[in-house]
């Protein structure tokens, strides 16, 4: 687990996870500490929340302690997971069980329905409210690619971001309010955001968040635009690469040959997608394009366990691109389907952060290189 502590006063703290490099108890302790910092509210938007009894006890205990102190807790969760998941459309595999755990906790909840996925994994702590004094509490956000499950915390490659920022928390709180009010994905996230000034490693960082489905097409276009404009490096740390716009941008960049592209992906899950694309005429072109990108960039694939509800879920689960000095990350798989899911994606501009993520990609490439196979 890469969880180097940032200097006091920084607004962003990051944990990078990899199979066998941290324990569920360590991540549960981080989450419990985040929860313990709440002074008046915790709003949780969770796609997958299933924990073994020992880990559940840690998180339930932290929530109970805050509720007893008067903190208002609300949980919105995805209510319509497909079984089996549509992996070719960027859906993450997740068996049912979230609703049972959420409802067992006893706090107000919303089942978020709809044909797509409520795929977020964020918590808004002490949401800003104009009518209330925060009494010293700094509104904060927990987000990233990491679901709240044993496998996500123990055997998957993921990232977690903890961000102290009233401005950023206000955007997340607005997205949560959309979901909570409507009880379905609908058009949540249909509002513009602005860059927020933060610090990381004692240096300025610019952060902007986007939410789908409200800004789904904008996200897809912005990711492809940034990749196309790369001048120094593109590092990939992603479970899937399904977006036609991203595939096109990566292919053009590699064809030009001026910017190095490298990284890691989930070979097992991507191979499953290619098989499914064979029966989807408008996606057939992507099969050859993805294979060429993987080969030309020398991407290293993790051989995860083929998905079944009853098997270990040890996916290369992150959704990260490093483009020059920018980190793009969140819950948002780089897929067409993600445009229509409820997702969040952060664009973080800071050279020290980009270097840290890039170094972790190097670590993962070395870790899985020996078992790498052609796609």
User: pLDDT tens across 267-300, in order?
Assistant: 999 999 999 999 999 999 999 999 999 999 999 9
87 pLDDT exceeds 70? no
Return d(Cα 77, Cα 158) in angstroms, integer.
20
Global pTM reads 0.95
Please report the pLDDT score of residue 92 as a whole number: 60
Please report the pLDDT score of residue 105 as a whole number: 98
CATH topology for 12-371 is Endonuclease; Chain A (3.30.870)
- E strand or H helix that includes residue 234: strand 234-238
Task: For residue 348, give every residue at least 6 positions away whose Cβ sits within 8 Å of its Cβ, in sequence order, or none.
Answer: 12, 200, 205, 206, 207, 326, 327, 328, 329
Structure confidence at residue 307 as a pLDDT band (50, 70, 90)? confident
Compute the mean pLDDT over every residue in the chain, rounded to the nearest whole number: 94
Please report the pLDDT score of residue 161 as a whole number: 98
Q: Where are the domains of the chain?
A: 12-371
90 pLDDT exceeds 60? no
308 pLDDT exceeds 90? no
pLDDT in tens, 310-331: 889 999 999 999 999 999 999 9
359 pLDDT exceeds 90? yes
Nearest partner of 145 among 372, 6, 331, judged by Cα: 331
Structure confidence at residue 56 as a pLDDT band (50, 70, 90)? very high
Structure confidence at residue 1 as a pLDDT band (50, 70, 90)? confident
Return d(Cα 345, Cα 50) in angstroms, integer.
23
């Amino acid at each position: 687990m890469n969880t180097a502590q940032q200097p006091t006063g920084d607004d962003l703290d990051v944990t990078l996870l990899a199979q066998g490099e941290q324990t569920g108890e360590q991540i549960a302790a981080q989450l419990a500490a985040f929860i313990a910092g709440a002074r008046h509210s915790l709003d949780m938007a969770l796609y997958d929340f299933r924990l073994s009894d020992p880990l559940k006890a840690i998180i339930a205990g932290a929530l109970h302690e805050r509720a007893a102190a008067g903190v208002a807790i609300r949980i919105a969760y995805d209510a319509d997971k497909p079984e089996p998941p549509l992996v070719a459309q960027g859906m993450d595999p997740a068996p049912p069980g979230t609703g049972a755990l959420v409802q067992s906790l006893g706090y107000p909840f919303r089942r978020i329905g709809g044909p797509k996925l409520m795929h977020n994994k964020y918590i808004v702590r002490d949401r800003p409210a104009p009518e209330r004094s925060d009494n010293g509490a700094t509104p904060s956000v927990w987000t990233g690619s990491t679901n709240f499950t044993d496998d996500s915390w123990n055997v998957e490659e993921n990232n977690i971001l903890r961000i102290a920022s009233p401005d950023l928390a206000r955007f997340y709180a607005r997205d949560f309010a959309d979901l909570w009010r409507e009880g379905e994905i609908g058009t949540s996230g249909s509002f513009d955001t602005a860059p927020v000034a933060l610090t990381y490693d004692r240096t300025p960082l610019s952060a902007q968040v986007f939410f789908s489905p409200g800004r789904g097409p904008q996200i897809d276009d912005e990711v492809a635009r940034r990749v196309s404009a790369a001048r120094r490096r593109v590092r990939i740390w992603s479970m899937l690469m399904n977006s036609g716009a991203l595939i096109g941008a990566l292919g053009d960049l590699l064809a030009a040959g001026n910017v190095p592209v490298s990284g890691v992906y989930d070979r097992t899950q991507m191979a499953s997608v290619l098989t499914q694309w064979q029966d989807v005429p408008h996606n057939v072109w992507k099969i050859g394009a993805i294979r060429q990108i993987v080969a030309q960039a020398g991407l290293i694939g993790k051989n995860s366990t083929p998905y079944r509800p009853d098997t270990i879920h040890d996916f290369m689960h992150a959704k990260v691109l490093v483009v020059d000095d920018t980190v793009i990350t969140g819950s948002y798989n780089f897929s067409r389907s993600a445009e229509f899911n409820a997702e969040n994606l952060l664009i973080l501009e800071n050279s020290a952060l980009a270097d840290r993520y890039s170094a972790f990609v190097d670590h993962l490439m070395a870790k899985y290189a020996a078992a790498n196979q052609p796609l």
